[in-house]
Amino acid sequence: MMFERVKRRSYMLFIHTLAGLLGFASAGFTQIGSLKGKVYDAETHELLPGANVIVSSEQIKTGTATDSHGQFTMENLPEGYYTIKISYIGYETRIFSKLKISSNRETFLDVALKSTGIVANPITVTASRRPEKLLDAPASITVLEAHEIESRPVLTATEHLKALPAIDIISAGLNQSRVVIRGFNSIFSGSLLSLVDNRITRIPSVRLNAFQLIPTSNDDVERIEIVSGPASALYGPNSANGVVHILTKSPFDSKGTRASLAGGQRNIVMSTFRHAGTFGEHLGYKFSVQYYKGRDFESFDPVEIAAREAAIKAGANPDTLLIGARDFHIKSLAVDARVDFKPKDDFLFIFNTGFSRGTNIEFTDSGAAQAVNAMFKYVQARMRYKNLFFQVFMNGIDTGDTYFLRTGQKIINNSKLFVIQAQHHYDFGEKQKFTYGFDVLLTRPNTKGTVNGKNEDHDNVNEIGAYIQSETSISQHLKIVTAARLDDHNRLDNLNFSPRAALVYKPTATQNLRLTFNRAFSTPTADNLFSDVLSAGVPTAAADPLLIPFIGESLFKVRALGTWPNGFSFRYVNGVPQMLTLYGQYLANKGLLPSATTYLPPEVNPVWPAIRDLIITGAPPEQRPFLRAILPAELSATVPGVLKILNTETQQFEPVDFSFVKDIAPLKETSTTTWEFGYKGLINKKLLFSADLYHSRIKDFIGPLRVETPHVFVDTDSLRSVLTQDMIARGLPGALAETVAQLISENLADLPIGLISPQEVANPTDVILTYRNFGDITVSGLDLSFTYYLNQYWNISGNYSFVNKDFFKDKKTHMDIALNAPKHKFGAILNYTNQKIGFLGNLRLRFVDSFPVNSGIFVGKVNKYAVLDLNASYTLPFSSHTRITLNIQNLTNNKHREFVGVPEIGRLAILRLSQTL
């Protein structure tokens, strides 16, 4: 009985145990899944064998490696949520959180890893105004990534561009710079198209690239894309010299807070703050603030100094006088904010706005200006829905209390630029793509007469254009890109047509060969067309107060004028240009001329009565009767005048002949036709190399401001000869007559008697600075660059650029055009990056050969120079969100000038501490 109970109990225990085991087995069988996938290079799509795959959850942690085909399989994973970690030497580690493994199912995961060393083929958006791989782009592109930008504390974005291929940069102070690609720089340059998030950033009306007034903080920059060569076919006018496009971070991808504090030499103090976040999954926001101040490198203008001394001598109060009142303290405040609305993956609406306010010395074609609380502001709204992009934005400038340093004249500029743009792209399968759109640019200058003067009410500019681009894939390796654009400018006579064609050949995924043709154009700026501004002047009292009754209060004024609407024409008689005399009012008052603005031959004879009275009045009283007796009332023979032109840099008069004087036609647009052959490729996974060979023909290049109105001076030899004979005829002994004639001629040698003034101006004291279309220029060049990755920590890069000409002469117009950039330049960078210890560092070398300068009043030569920069960034080991960064520009303190008239640039060291939350 007992045995039976024990047997029954044992049997029941066996049955329950077996049932439990079967139940567990059944449950285990129904709740197990698997994970399969492949790991490949994000750029080349090459499969990566031997990549580590770690799978972990609260219950288990296991791992495997990819096979020879870059594939992996993990079986028998219990149903649940897992963290997947994939790593490979030389690549960024990727982590996938909360990946669900379902029972009785295979979960697939394809993983693209980015190389931590070389990034050969990132996505770009600038060359074709749509996303594409860099090696698919029909243009030469350089990309600066976020880690390169964040690790360098700078005052403006231009500091990141130094030592890059084809870039020409003029540093004119701590935060002032001029940037172009492949030359044709200027002291007031706007030929480069600068963009931030598809928005033009140039100052409205004057079209100046003032990078220190861009409200974007360094911490908010995602990447910078640089396109070398013309881009008008898609971007329209004024992009013939390339594009620099700053792209900022999306708040969805950069949530968090970052603050930094920096200080350095020249009393630099800088602070930044950026915060980004989201409300739910569809609404993102961000805002940033940046402030800095410091003391600029110092420079002085002799013309300003002389004008200031003359004004003080005439009774001006030195404490309130603005002439020559340079303030070397700089300061800048920039605020930027943005809201993103993304209700679904294929729709994004972005609204952003910002402003910047700054004080610094700014260099213009007419001399330096003191910018005081100048403010740039913008409002932008853009929308992307599937393949459609649409945006509107407004840029505005308020120059605050800015003034010209040579004259003390206030500069008022409250101009605005309104832009409407739309673009759509449509793909016919994989082989045919079309991109098309339109642009409307409305420039509304508003200078209260301080810049545009008499043209203030007639200076609105409307530019409207449309374009289409076709991209045809002939095969897997070959594609053809063609584009065409048509633009209208309401102040120019002709429509502008911009064609583009490119043949792109990719023999492998990491090699690109291209042959391109572009015709781009640049329109005259509002300054070119409408400016009417006093640049400098010499009061008569500064020369000799005795002259005031004869020629008035002003000996001459230098005035910059635009050519709208009809250019300038001179008065000719028998092919000889006629003059207006400085003595016009005096002679008219005496009844010797019909009016003060009567045109006269460029001779001494018609103005001799005034000169005779001046000689007599300037003599001691006891000598005046004698002079009245011996000086003839009229000269017996013609005494010709000689022409001399004012050199605005040296303030000296230089002789020219009468052929110098030519009518000035209204300005036309400048067209640039460029053929280019380029290569970019990754060789042996170690060397990234590019080469660009180009030839450009530039037609109707708009030259710099130039003095077009020569003064007429006395031909002293002729006057001495004629006057000697006339005084002998009046009874003066020959030897004495010759001595008196010699003294009179020498005293009149440096005093102008007239000005070859155009009929549209008709002012005997206004020396006219204006612009001309130069003619045709041809230039050829070569850009080479490479990056070699020694290992996962070290890489070295270098570049060299050559241009065959840096100076151009035109015999027809007697104009000299300078490239304002060197024939030869090179750069080199040695980089060390170790993410494990949180350290990044580099040495950067730039060499710029000497080059001639001709830009407005700034004429001369820049001597060759070399600059070495050091940058280091380190994440503190005890605080992974704290980073300390050191940037030393011009490490060896090699003081040099990068343009005529700008200060010597020395060393600048900045140390920054940043904290990320």
Q: The pTM is what?
A: 0.84
Q: Is the pLDDT of residue 476 over 70?
A: yes
State which amino acid sits at residue 542: A
Kindly provide the b/e burial profile for residues 440-459, where b requires at least 16 CB atoms within 10 angstroms of the residue's own CB.
ebbbbbbbeebbbbebbeeb
- Long-range contacts of residues 394-400, Cβ cutoff 8 Å, at least 24 apart: 394/418, 394/419, 395/199, 395/200, 395/201, 395/202, 395/203, 395/204, 395/419, 396/204, 397/203, 397/204, 397/205, 398/374, 399/371, 399/374, 400/357, 400/371, 400/372, 400/373, 400/374, 400/375
10: phi then psi, degrees, rounded to nearest 5:
-65, -40
SS (HEC) of 373-440: EEEEEEEEEEEEECCEEEEEEEEEEECECCEECCCCCECCCCCEEEEEEEEEEEEECCCEEEEEEEEE
pLDDT at res. 21: 38
Per-domain residue ranges of the chain:
1-30, 33-113, 123-529+669-705+772-916, 574-661+711-755
pLDDT at res. 129: 63
State which amino acid sits at residue 383: M
Q: Is the pLDDT of residue 648 over 60?
A: yes
Q: Is the pLDDT of residue 30 over 60?
A: no
In tens, the pLDDT along 709-728 reads 999 999 999 999 999 999 99
In the DSSP assignment, the letter for residue 559 is E
Over the chain, what is the mean pLDDT? 90
Query: Euclidean distance between the first and final Cα of the chain, in Å?
Result: 77
pLDDT at res. 206: 92
Q: What is the pLDDT confidence band of residue 6, given thresholds at 50, 70 and 90?
A: very low
Q: Helix (H, G, I), strand (E, B), or coil: what is residue 724?
A: helix
State which amino acid sits at residue 315: G
Residue in the block written with tokens 């500064």: 542
In tens, the pLDDT along 851-910 reads 999 998 899 999 999 999 999 999 999 888 999 999 999 999 999 999 999 999 999 999
pLDDT at res. 395: 98
Q: Tell me the helices (H) and strands (E) count for the chain, helix number first.
A: 12, 54
Q: Is the dihedral of CA 120, 126, 128, 130 positive or negative?
A: positive
Q: Residue 279: which H helix or E strand, with range?
A: strand 268-279
* Residue 221 Rama label (left phi>0; alpha psi -120 to 50; beta): beta
In tens, the pLDDT along 795-823 reads 999 999 999 999 998 777 677 899 999 99
Quote the CA–CA distance of 680 and 669 in Å, as a whole number: 33
Q: Which two tokens stand for residue 28?
A: 């285990």
Rg (CA), the chain: 36
In tens, the pLDDT along 31-45 reads 788 999 999 888 767
Mean pLDDT of 607-624: 94
From 2.60.40.1120, 3.40.50.960, 3.30.360.10, 2.115.10.20, which CATH number describes the 33-113 domain? 2.60.40.1120
Quote the CA–CA distance of 240 and 220 in Å, as a whole number: 28
Which among 54-63, 234-243, 733-742 has the top mean pLDDT?
Answer: 733-742
The residue that leads in pLDDT, 359 or 97, is 359
pLDDT at res. 118: 54
Other beta carbons within 10 angstroms of residue 841's beta carbon come to 17
Other beta carbons within 10 angstroms of residue 251's beta carbon come to 22
Q: Residue 360: which H helix or E strand, with range?
A: strand 347-364
pLDDT at res. 121: 62
Q: Is the pLDDT of residue 481 over 80?
A: yes
Mean pLDDT of 562-586: 95
Of the candidates 466, 463, 524, 468, which has an alpha carbon nearest to the alpha carbon of residue 488? Answer: 463
Share of the chain above pLDDT 70, in %: 94
Q: Is the pLDDT of residue 120 over 70?
A: no
pLDDT at res. 555: 86
Of the candidates 383, 381, 412, 386, which has an alpha carbon nearest to the alpha carbon of residue 397? Answer: 412
pLDDT at res. 818: 94
Distance from CA of residue 751 to its chain's centroid? 42
pLDDT at res. 135: 66
In tens, the pLDDT along 150-162 reads 888 999 999 999 9
Mean pLDDT of 358-374: 95
DSSP for 32-97, please give it: EEEEEEEEEETTT--B-TT-EEEEE-SS-EEEEE--TTSEEEEEEEESEEEEEEEE-TTB--EEEE
Q: Is the pLDDT of residue 9 over 60?
A: no
Q: What is the pLDDT confidence band of residue 11, given thresholds at 50, 70 and 90?
A: very low
Under 8 Å between Cβ of 188 and 200: no
pLDDT at res. 14: 38
> Domain 123-529+669-705+772-916 carries which CATH code?
2.40.170.20
The residue that leads in pLDDT, 878 or 214, is 214
Under 8 Å between Cβ of 777 and 182: no
Under 8 Å between Cβ of 781 and 804: yes
Mean pLDDT of 315-319: 93
Q: What is the pLDDT confidence band of residue 134, given thresholds at 50, 70 and 90?
A: low
pLDDT at res. 147: 80
pLDDT at res. 25: 39
Equal fold, 33-113 vs 123-529+669-705+772-916: no
Among the residues of 546-690, which ranges form H helices? 548-551, 584-589, 608-618, 624-630
Q: Is the pLDDT of residue 514 over 50?
A: yes
Cis amide leading into 903 (omega within 30)? no
How many residues in the chain? Answer: 917
Q: What is the pLDDT confidence band of residue 682, given thresholds at 50, 70 and 90?
A: confident
pLDDT at res. 116: 60
Share of the chain above pLDDT 90, in %: 69
State which amino acid sits at residue 447: T
